[in-house]
Amino acid sequence: MGKLPHSCSLLPRHCTTYLAGLYLHIPFCKQACHYCDFHFSTSMGLKSRLVDALTQELALRADYLGPQSVLETIYFGGGTPSLLTATELDQIFNAIHIHFRVAADAEITLEANPDDLTAAKVRELAASPINRLSIGLQSFHEPHLRLMNRAHSAIESTAAVQLAQEAGFENISVDLIYGVPAPDHGIWEEDLAKVFALQVPHLSCYALTVEPDTVFGRQLKKGTFRPPPDEFVARQFEMLLAELARHGYQQYEISNFCQPGRESRHNSAYWRGVPYLGLGPSAHSFNGVSRQYTLANNPQYVTSVLEQHEVPATIEFLSPTDRANEYLMTSLRTARGTDLRHLHTSLGVNLVADRADYLKYLQTNGWATISADEVLTLTDKGKLLADQITLELFQEAE
């Protein structure tokens, strides 16, 4: 797979009117992880046709972000985007550059499973426009990988990162899952030690969440799966914060950590409310005034886009209350915090006056701080209660 030709529209960032993001959902996996409730299929029969539909959707929605937009980030998520062939990736990139302008220094991320990252595959990706890999390790502990029904082995977890580094990828993120049932915290300590030894610049770390429509959810209902107690999970989160700080990583969002200056530009843009276009079944889009949700059904998506030339999607126009709640939900998870003045002057919600007692309660209990310029930020203790605090601050629809 070759680099994009010089004729593609690559612009220096100073030429942009405003920056935006592009997300492409690749809804295929080799097998179903027991915790995953994302939209995917383990049948690959439609993969080629779905790539055709993605390129057609790029044409159908070329004006979604407006004529002055330039893509600062492109993100292949899923599913398992590393299942795409070199030819399929080339097809998608060619369509992107026909219909969109792309910043010269665009961050282009592909999510990958370790079992896909053979030496040949990594060289193929390194020769493509992709400049950032997000590798779903989840654990280095073989029994945990088998419990979660991951397709890769513990040996492949380490090898995938090393192969990527040897191929020239220096912008690498890895995923880890904590709160997996275990007799003590020893396995989590080993996972952290091994990931630090790999010296990757970015980590995304998530607590194991049991969703109803997953294998774990059904096992929980039957009583055959027991997640660890909340105190166990909270302790592993505290261990995570301490170890990452000790190794020089910054927590710039509750689940995301990086070496200085190595934030995910794509995800950071989400949290700042930057417009983005989402392509593929189940993908979401946001243009500042509305959200669009594409149908989570592969055959119907392909038929609608390729044969009817329509994107099967639902559009939700955001009310002022919706926009305020979205800002609260995203900003409060980040190290930047929630700008209460912005919330008041731009979004019409005056928490300083309307929720003074609750804000004082948060500070008194050591769950949050409010700076002199009225920025609300969660403390490490408060981050354990982030969802609860956010819901408490949400505005009710009028």
Cα 202 to Cα 244: distance, rounded to the nearest angstrom: 11
Q: How much is the CA Rg of the chain, to the nearest whole Å?
A: 21
Q: What is the pLDDT of residues 221-260, one digit of tens each?
A: 999 999 999 999 999 999 999 999 999 999 999 999 999 9
- Gap between the Cα atoms of 36 and 88, Å rounded: 25
Query: What's residue 17's pLDDT?
Result: 60
Q: Residues 378, 259: one domain?
A: no
- Segments forming the whole domain that contains residue 193: 10-271
Q: State how far Cα 76 lies from the chain centre.
A: 10
Q: Is residue 115 part of a domain?
A: yes
Pick the last residue of a domain from 248, 271, 294: 271
CB within 8 Å of 179: residues ≥ 6 apart: 207, 208, 227, 228, 232, 233, 236
pLDDT at 9: 39
14 pLDDT exceeds 90? Answer: no
CATH number of the domain encompassing residue 348? 1.10.10.920
Last residue of a domain, one of 238, 271, 304: 271
Confidence of residue 288 (pLDDT cuts 50, 70, 90): confident
Query: How many independent structural domains does the chain possess?
Result: 2
Q: Which of 178, 173, 326, 305 is nearest to 252 (CA)?
A: 173
Residues 117 and 244 in one domain: yes
Question: Do 114 and 249 fall within a single domain?
Answer: yes
Note the pLDDT of residue 398. 60
What is the CATH number for 183? 3.80.30.20
Q: What is the pTM of this model?
A: 0.93
Mean per-residue pLDDT of the chain: 94
Does a structural domain hold residue 314? no
Is the model's pLDDT at 345 over the cut of 80? yes
